[in-house]
């Protein structure tokens, strides 16, 4: 994986002193007093967005916070739960920690720039992005505090930065640097038994990390890349969430399937070795049975269940295409028919979801898998149209990059079409993106 460092140009400080208050449950708080335990989701309607809520920050920063609350947080979450943790968990943490606040403002600015597409929004986004990189780097360098609180903040910080790269549509692979740092920090946090004290905040951290890393692995060259990011202790924590039928704003009702993606990646590495280890055939069969037996929790919303079934077929396609490209003449009719059946079922489920539903924000990965497994012009056309609508309604830069990547793949030789060769298209186009 080729990565290029982010822009670290220095920007002047320009935030002014502004005193603010916010009323929550009948009590007035200043910005720095808002407790981490407060859930802000139900009270957002009481917040006048014209009023600055963050002392010692500029009016511009207050506007970006308002944009985050009303727009960006909704684009990040897929509405699988009633409460959005990008607000209820991260905003209280941001009022408690200047680093998290700065990172959220930078994320909001990046998202706004992608949506507005004007020079002034772009300049502001670059300013906040540069400042957030500098501040995060300083916090990492100064991180001598071994407390769980410090590690938790830096863990969320690295994940927020990775999702900011998604919002920006960054193509130089910087997101993978952030995810690599997140792996070290989150595993450190998980290894300390005191993490139980953080309850649902811990659950969201594990969900956040699992979604980001699993959906980014498609970009790795399986022949040369080692299994990226995913630490066994984090995997165990995520498995615990699966046993509780966890439903989240990033993983929806398909966390179990996300956990299979790194395992399939490793299996792909093993099966591409010559000779193929005997036990990989058994492992292949076990994974296939687990995927085929999967069904989203009945407690999930209708759209989350449907999206989970899209993921189910996409993960099956990811597993089956280890065996080869179904469009090659040597693949055999039975194998090609199997792949076509999974593509058609995935597309049928996808077609049941409105193109404007928020759950689409989590579907770049399965859409890419489907697109890499079909030469059907009608299916490709409808995938293209869905991504175009998603780009307009959600506004995250990586949606445009996903479509651009698929367009490049579709122009190539159909006999080379496979999720396992997607990295070659990225190499050819000199773009390295996450499909989170």
- Is pLDDT at 31 greater than 70 in this prediction? no
CA-wise closest residue to 256 among 244, 267, 265 = 244
DSSP letter for 79, please.
S
Which pLDDT value is given to residue 143? Answer: 72
- C-alpha 67/C-alpha 390 separation (Å) is 19
If phi over 0 gives left and psi between -120 and 50 gives alpha, with beta otherwise, what is residue 221?
Answer: beta
Section 70-74 average pLDDT: 97
Which pLDDT value is given to residue 58? Answer: 82
Alpha helices by DSSP H, 35-97? 59-67, 73-76, 85-88, 90-96
If phi over 0 gives left and psi between -120 and 50 gives alpha, with beta otherwise, what is residue 27?
Answer: beta
- Is pLDDT at 43 greater than 80 in this prediction? no
- C-alpha 220/C-alpha 313 separation (Å) is 21
Name 148's Cβ contacts closer than 8 Å, sequence gap at least 6. Answer: 189, 192, 194, 195, 197, 198
Spatial contact of 274 and 329, defined as CB atoms under 8 Å apart? no
What percent of the chain is predicted at pLDDT more than 90?
67
- C-alpha 79/C-alpha 251 separation (Å) is 10
Q: What is the pLDDT of residues 150-200, one digit of tens each?
A: 889 999 999 999 999 999 999 999 999 999 999 999 999 998 766 666 778
- Is pLDDT at 354 greater than 90 in this prediction? yes
Parallel, antiparallel, or unpaired: how do β-strands 27-30 and 21-24 relate?
antiparallel
Tell me the backbone φ, ψ of residue 120, rounded to 5 degrees. -65, -40
Which pLDDT value is given to residue 53? Answer: 56
Least confident of 22-36, 236-250, 329-343: 22-36
Q: How confident is the model at residue 25 (pLDDT cuts 50, 70, 90)?
A: very low
CA-wise closest residue to 302 among 240, 346, 252 = 252
Name 142's Cβ contacts closer than 8 Å, sequence gap at least 6. Answer: none
- Is pLDDT at 290 greater than 70 in this prediction? yes
- Is pLDDT at 374 greater than 70 in this prediction? yes
Q: What is the pLDDT of residues 295-311, one digit of tens each?
A: 999 999 999 999 999 99
- C-alpha 340/C-alpha 338 separation (Å) is 6
A 10 A CB-CB count for 16 gives 12
CA-wise closest residue to 182 among 368, 436, 370 = 436
Which pLDDT value is given to residue 418? Answer: 93
Which pLDDT value is given to residue 276? Answer: 75
What are the structure tokens assigned to 258, written together? 């996300």
Rounded to two decimals, the pTM is: 0.86
Q: What is the pLDDT of residues 210-260, one digit of tens each?
A: 999 999 999 988 877 655 567 888 999 999 999 999 999 999 999 999 999
- Is pLDDT at 428 greater than 50 in this prediction? yes
Residue 229's alpha-carbon distances to 217, 301, 383, in angstroms, are 9, 30, 29
Which pLDDT value is given to residue 196? Answer: 65
Mean pLDDT of the chain, nearest integer: 85
Which pLDDT value is given to residue 49? Answer: 44
State how far Cα 316 lies from the chain centre: 20
Q: What is the pLDDT of residues 375-416, one digit of tens each?
A: 999 999 999 999 999 999 999 999 999 999 999 999 998 888
Name 30's Cβ contacts closer than 8 Å, sequence gap at least 6. Answer: 19, 20, 21, 22, 55
Which pLDDT value is given to residue 218? Answer: 92
Spatial contact of 109 and 124, defined as CB atoms under 8 Å apart? yes
- Is pLDDT at 45 greater than 60 in this prediction? no
A 10 A CB-CB count for 356 gives 11
- Read out DSSP for 284-326? HHHHHHHHHH----TTS-HHHHHHHHHHHHHHHHHHHGGG--T
- Is pLDDT at 425 greater than 70 in this prediction? yes
- C-alpha 105/C-alpha 58 separation (Å) is 11
Spatial contact of 173 and 2, defined as CB atoms under 8 Å apart? yes
């Amino acid at each position: 994986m080729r990565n290029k460092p982010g822009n670290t140009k220095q920007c002047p400080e320009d935030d002014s002193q502004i005193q603010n208050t916010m009323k929550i449950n009948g009590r007035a708080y200043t910005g720095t007093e808002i407790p981490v335990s407060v859930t802000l989701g139900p009270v957002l309607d009481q917040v006048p967005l014209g009023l600055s809520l963050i002392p010692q920050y500029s009016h511009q920063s207050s506007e970006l916070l308002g944009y985050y609350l009303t727009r960006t947080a909704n684009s990040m979450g897929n509405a699988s739960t009633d409460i959005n943790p990008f607000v209820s968990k991260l905003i209280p943490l941001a009022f408690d920690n200047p680093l998290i606040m700065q990172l959220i403002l930078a994320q909001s600015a990046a998202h706004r720039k992608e949506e507005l597409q004007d020079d002034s929004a772009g300049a502001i986004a670059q300013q906040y992005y540069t400042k957030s990189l500098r501040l995060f780097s300083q916090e990492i360098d100064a991180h001598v505090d071994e407390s769980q609180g410090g590690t938790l903040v830096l863990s969320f910080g690295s994940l927020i930065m990775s999702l900011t790269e998604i919002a920006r549509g960054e193509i130089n692979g910087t997101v993978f640097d952030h995810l690599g740092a997140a792996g070290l920090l989150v595993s450190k946090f998980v290894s300390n038994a005191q993490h139980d004290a953080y309850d649902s905040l811990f659950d969201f951290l594990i969900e956040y990390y699992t979604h980001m890393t699993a959906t980014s692995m498609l970009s790795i060259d399986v022949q040369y890349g080692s299994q990226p990011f995913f630490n066994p202790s984090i995997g165990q924590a995520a498995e615990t969430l699966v046993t509780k039928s966890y439903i989240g704003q990033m993983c929806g009702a398909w966390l179990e399937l996300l956990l299979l993606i790194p395992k399939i990646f490793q299996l792909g590495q093993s099966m591409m070795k010559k000779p193929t280890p005997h036990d990989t055939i058994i492992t292949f069969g076990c994974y296939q049975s687990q995927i085929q037996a999967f069904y989203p929790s009945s407690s999930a919303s209708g759209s989350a269940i449907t999206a989970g079934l899209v993921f189910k077929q996409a993960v099956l396609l990811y597993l089956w295409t280890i065996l080869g490209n179904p469009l090659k003449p040597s693949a055999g009719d039975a194998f090609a028919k199997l792949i076509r059946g999974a593509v058609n079922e995935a597309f049928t489920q996808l077609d049941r979801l409105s193109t404007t539903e928020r759950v689409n924000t989590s579907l770049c990965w399965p859409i890419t898998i489907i697109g890499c497994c079909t030469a059907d012009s009608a299916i490709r056309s409808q995938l293209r149209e869905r991504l175009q609508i998603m780009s307009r309604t959600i506004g995250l830069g990586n949606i445009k990059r996903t479509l651009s990547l698929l367009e490049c793949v579709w122009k190539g030789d159909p006999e080379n079409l496979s999720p396992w060769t997607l990295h070659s298209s990225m190499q050819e186009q000199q773009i390295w993106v996450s499909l989170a």
